[in-house]
Amino acid sequence: MNAAVRSAVRIGICQGHTIYVVSDGFEGLAKGQIREVGWHDVAGWLGRGGSMLGTKRTLPKTCMEKIVENVRKFNIQGLLVIGGFEAYEGVLQLVEARGQYEELCIVMCVIPATISNNVPGTDFSLGSDTAVNAAMESCDRIKQSASGTKRRVFIVETMGGYCGYLSTVTGIAVGADAAYVYEDPFTIHDLKANVEHLTDKMKTDIQRGLVLRNEKCHEHYTTEFLYNLYSSEGKGIFDCRINVLGHLQQGGAPTPFDRNYGTKLGVKAVLWMSEKLQQVYSKGRVFANSGDTACVIGLRKKVVAFSPVTELKKVTDFEHRLPQEQWWLNLRLMLKMLANYQISLTEYISGQMEHVTRRTLSIEKGF
């Protein structure tokens, strides 16, 4: 996040803009926690984790009048929001309030930044690569701790809300035996099959097992439940341990990918906003009320693209804070195949083709 702020500030200054930064998100914007910054104010931000400006999950609808008042007071003509699902949802609320408040007819852009990777309009959010690296390192150490001990299975809980990206990608990276996520529903029969699979493995020379569970993958099959199930069924064959990674996944310095990715998104976002400001500037003022003046910038396949928030609304599950289509779900069959489940390569390829077909249908529908 800090890399994106740094590049956005400096490119904005190069473009001739007056740059303000807001502390504590939309709540800070409502409270007037706004200050002008210069080139050297963001020096040293590139390699810092977390957010130097602070974050809050407050949505604009709770303080819309004060936000509008400060937009007018500071003569804000463009708003760049860096954050997670709340940032996307907050900008959507501002756009929907344009008919009521003329001050909100400004250019807006969202840079997705969340370890959950659950913002529509991008395949990768800022911070998700760093979080996967942190989770991977923790799981590697957990597995290594079992070296030379009796047969043991580790139940590891990851963060991510309802989004199972962290569990799935980390599971592939560390060779997990299973990864439970909300997007891929599972039943007690699936759990039974997983336990039997691990039991059979432990009867060979393999002495370690690793099971990942996304924090909100199931209302009733909790981490404690999985621990009790595996402990009971594996009694006499293997024992079980729980590890909740928690906020370990949020700490640490950003990876090179996240630093460069954040820098690139900051630059491209400000250049896009500058272009839009020129297009909507007329008669001495900025008036942006079309859908394409409020977008999410993100990496879609290999291209950095801008997606209007009003269009992304159609493909968003707001209850669970998820995009309706997620590319990484294709990887789950591969995870099972590499864990030595009875899944053929043909079944994996057919699963991939099914996703391509669904994606083609979605494009044809205009999504």
Residue 350 pLDDT level (bands cut at 50, 70, 90)? low
pLDDT for position 144 = 81
As to burial, measured by CB atoms within 10 angstroms (0-12 exposed, 13-18 middle, 19+ buried), residue 355 is middle
Where do you find CATH 3.40.50.450 in the chain? 2-126+254-323
pLDDT > 70: percent of the chain: 91
State how far the Cα of 72 lies from the Cα of 66, in Å rounded to an integer: 10
State how far the Cα of 57 lies from the Cα of 282, in Å rounded to an integer: 34
Average pLDDT of span 61-71: 96
The 3-class secondary structure across the chain, one letter per residue, is CHHHHHHHHHHHHHCCCCCEEECCHHHHHHHCCEEECCHHHHCCCCCCCCCCCCCCCCCHHHCHHHHHHHHHHCCCCEEEEEECHHHHHHHHHHHHCCCCCHHHCCEEEEEEECCCCCCCCCCCCECHHHHHHHHHHHHHHHHHHCCCCCCEEEEEEECCCCCCHHHHHHHHHHCCCEEECCCCCCCHHHHHHHHHHHHHHHCCCCCEEEEEEECCCCCCCCHHHHHHHHHHHCCCCCEEEEEECHHHHHCCCCCHHHHHHHHHHHHHHHHHHHHHHHHHEECCEECCCCHHHEEEEEEECCEEEEEEHHHHHHHEECCCCEECCCHHHHHHHHHHHHCCCCCCHHHHHHHHHHHHHHHHHHHHCCC
Q: Using the predicted structure, report yes or no on whether residue 36 has a pLDDT greater than 60.
A: yes
Average pLDDT of span 181-204: 90
pLDDT > 90: percent of the chain: 75
Residue 94 near residue 268 (C-beta atoms within 8 A) = no
Is domain 2-126+254-323 in CATH 3.40.50.450, yes or no?
A: yes
Average pLDDT of span 323-341: 88
Where do you find CATH 3.40.50.460 in the chain? 129-251+327-364
The whole model's pTM is what? 0.89
State how far the Cα of 199 lies from the Cα of 230, in Å rounded to an integer: 9
Average pLDDT of span 133-144: 90
> Lowest-confidence range among 3-17, 233-247, 262-276, 314-328?
233-247
**Per-chain mean pLDDT for the chain:** 89
Helix axes 165-174 and 331-338, enclosed angle (nearest 10)? 30
Residue 49 pLDDT level (bands cut at 50, 70, 90)? confident
CATH of 129-251+327-364 given 3.40.50.800, 3.60.40.10, 2.40.37.10, 3.40.50.460: 3.40.50.460
pLDDT for position 201 = 83
Choose among 120, 127, 123: nearest CA to 308.
120
Angle at 41 between CA 35 and CA 42, to 5 degrees: 110
Residue 227 near residue 240 (C-beta atoms within 8 A) = yes
